Amino acid sequence: MDKKIRILGIETSCDETAVAIVDSDKNILANELYSQVAEHEEFKGVVPEIAARLHMGKLEGLIETAFKKARLSLVDIDAIAVTAGPGLIGGLIVGLTYAKAMAFSLGKPLIAINHLEAHALTARLTNNIEFPYLLCLVSGGHTQIIDIAEFGRYKILGSTLDDAIGEAFDKVAKMLNLEYPGGPQIEKLAAFGKYSIKFPVPLINQKNCNFSLSGLKTAVRNYITKNKHITKEDVCSSFQHTILHVIQNRLLHAFEIFDQKYGNIHEKTLVVAGGVAANKFLKSNLTGFASSHGYNTIFPPAKLCTDNAAMVAWLGVEKFKKSEFADLKVAPKSKWSLEEV
Ligand code: KG4
Ligand code: ZN
């Protein structure tokens, strides 16, 4: 039997300072997170300098708490996995430097993690799935469909040409004077509304997997400004239905590509991840849609789909098994495509 491996994961690429310890049996022994949302709120976006300073201030405490919760001491971990990119360079430097110092002083290997690859493989931590599978990543920052061919080999089938889907939810919510983040608010109101407004479905005639949300956003804005008496519930329901059609239409092409490439593998899996995947209307409809095309659908828990360090530690486990260690000289990369890992 293989020895159980325990990995410490550190994530500081954006505005969440996160630390986790995960073992090779898929146990999440600790998963600590400090969200900096409140500190960036007044600036209406993440301020890189503030983010880096907060990572510096919070990291040590989170690491101490993680070891306490896992009932482990520093010597019990097998390696330190840390996000080395892509992300805000200041934050990456803080996390990577901390991890390097720990690896050097403990005499443990360092593992450099691509943040997007960590998102892409989270479903292997939460479920027992094999390669290949399709990943539909829908969040506030990303909207992509990716062919997760095998470990280390990923092909982006399509991306958004403008806004991310979560961003579109947030912007429409703002037009309706709903609270931020808008996704959950729109979902709530939509439950009481009718799908009565036919907004355009962007790119519907294009045979590819790209997304475009800006036209839909403008259509919603025009509807709101042109009509004096609107029912917010109906706008939310109609917008949400349109988003469903957009995703289904793009997935249709992804299924075609995947089916053609892999023929009839006996189990076809679609993983839907990212903040928007928390939407129950989308979840139930996409599950039914994928099933009618022969795909099982997995929605990893929201807590592991949004930025966290458990995904970083888990990719650390996968890389440890393949002895993919980093040199202490490894540099952070603010840009680092999933296709280049
Ligand atoms: O993955 P995530 O937490 O972080 C970023 O990528 O920033 O995604 C956040 C996004 C926000 O735009 C939020 O409005 C959206 O996910 N979201 C939802 C729902 N819950 C969160 N969108 C639609 N329906 C929801 N229930
Ligand atoms: Zn992320």
Q: What is the largest CA-CA distance in the chain?
A: 69
**What's the pLDDT score for residue 146?**
97
| DSSP 8-state secondary structure symbol assigned to residue 44 | T
Q: Average of pLDDT values for 172-182? A: 90
User: What percent of the chain has pLDDT above 90?
Assistant: 88
Give the closest ligand to the alpha carbon of residue 142.
1
Going by alpha carbons, the residue nearest to atom 7 of ligand 1 is 140
**What's the pLDDT score for residue 1?**
58
d(CA 321, CA 318) in angstroms, rounded, equals: 5
**What's the pLDDT score for residue 179?**
85
Q: Which two tokens stand for residue 117?
A: 């690859």
Q: Average of pLDDT values for 37-52? A: 86
94 SS3 class? helix
Torsion of CA 280, 284, 285, 290, to 10 degrees: 130
Shortest-distance atom of ligand 1 to CA 170 = 14
Shortest-distance atom of ligand 1 to CA 166 = 12
**What's the pLDDT score for residue 276?**
94
Going by alpha carbons, the residue nearest to atom 12 of ligand 1 is 166
Going by alpha carbons, the residue nearest to atom 6 of ligand 1 is 140
Ligand 1 center to 192 CA (angstroms): 20
Q: Where are the alpha helices (DSSP H) in the chain?
A: 37-41, 48-70, 89-106, 115-126, 165-175, 182-190, 214-226, 232-262, 280-292, 302-305, 310-321
Q: How far, rounded to the nearest angstrom, does the alpha carbon of residue 201 sit from its chain's CA centroid?
A: 24
Q: Residues with beta carbon inside 6 Å of ligand 1?
A: 139-141, 166-167, 169-170, 181-184, 187, 274-276, 278-279, 306
Q: Mind listing the pLDDT tens digit for each residue in 258-314?
A: 999 998 788 999 999 988 999 999 999 999 999 999 999 999 998 898 899 999 999
Ligand 1 center to 275 CA (angstroms): 4
Residue 15: closest CA among 64, 68, 56, 51: 51
**Peptide bond before residue 48 is cis, with ω within 30 degrees of 0:** no
Q: Average of pLDDT values for 118-144? A: 94
Give the closest ligand to the alpha carbon of residue 180.
1
- Which range among 36-45, 76-85, 100-109, 273-282 shows the weakest confidence by mean pLDDT? 36-45
d(CA 312, CA 52) in angstroms, rounded, equals: 19
- pLDDT averaged over the chain? 95
Ligand 2 center to 305 CA (angstroms): 8
Ligand 2 center to 119 CA (angstroms): 7
In the block, which residue shows the tokens 């062919």? 147
Q: Mind listing the pLDDT tens digit for each residue in 13-29?
A: 999 999 999 999 999 99
Q: Average of pLDDT values for 90-118? A: 97
